[in-house]
Amino acid sequence: MATETIVATKQNSEAKAFGEFGKGRYSRVMGELYKDLQRYCNLSPAAAHKLSEAFGSDFGRAMANAEVSARIGRVTKDGTLNLAEAVKGVKATATYSLSAAKLCFMAAEMAKAGAKEISFDLPKEVHEFAVSV
């Protein structure tokens, strides 16, 4: 009779502070969304954090199969080169987090154009999703 050994790995149990999203591909966008959700939608830090994490997950999942092209420039005299990528857009389901992000992006554009005191009340379902544990 063969025996199996199961090795348990220790998970990093450090909880991130609200508004901290690591160094992933969409972390900066998630951080901005976190601030905007509080500014424009009056969400608590905990609710804004949850909705921002959901955005990163939803956006990343949608973009995972996007068509990407890469460009590599010439090597310069100092031994560096420029890298660039272009990603084609994809269709995605309008989740609560993606819809809330669109609302915040539009609110930020309105603020840049000079609008004052921009504030939105999220629908009950979105708010309940954001405050659920």
| pLDDT per position as a tens digit, 54-84 | 999 999 999 998 999 999 999 999 999 999 9
Count of the separate structural domains present in the chain: 1
> Does residue 79 sit within a domain?
no
pLDDT band at 132 (very low <50, low <70, confident <90, very high): confident
Q: Which domain covers residue 41, as residue numbers?
A: 28-63+90-131
* Residue 34 maps to a domain: yes
**95, part of any domain:** yes
DSSP string of 78-99? Answer: TS---EEEEE--------HHHH
User: Does residue 126 form part of some domain?
Assistant: yes
Residue 114 lies in a domain: yes
14: in domain: no
Report how far apart, in Å, the C-alpha atoms of 120 and of each of 24, 28, 40, 62 are: 29, 23, 6, 26
* Alpha carbon distance 128, 124 (integer Å): 6
The SS3 call for residue 49 is helix
pLDDT per residue as tens digits for the range 3-16? 666 555 544 545 57
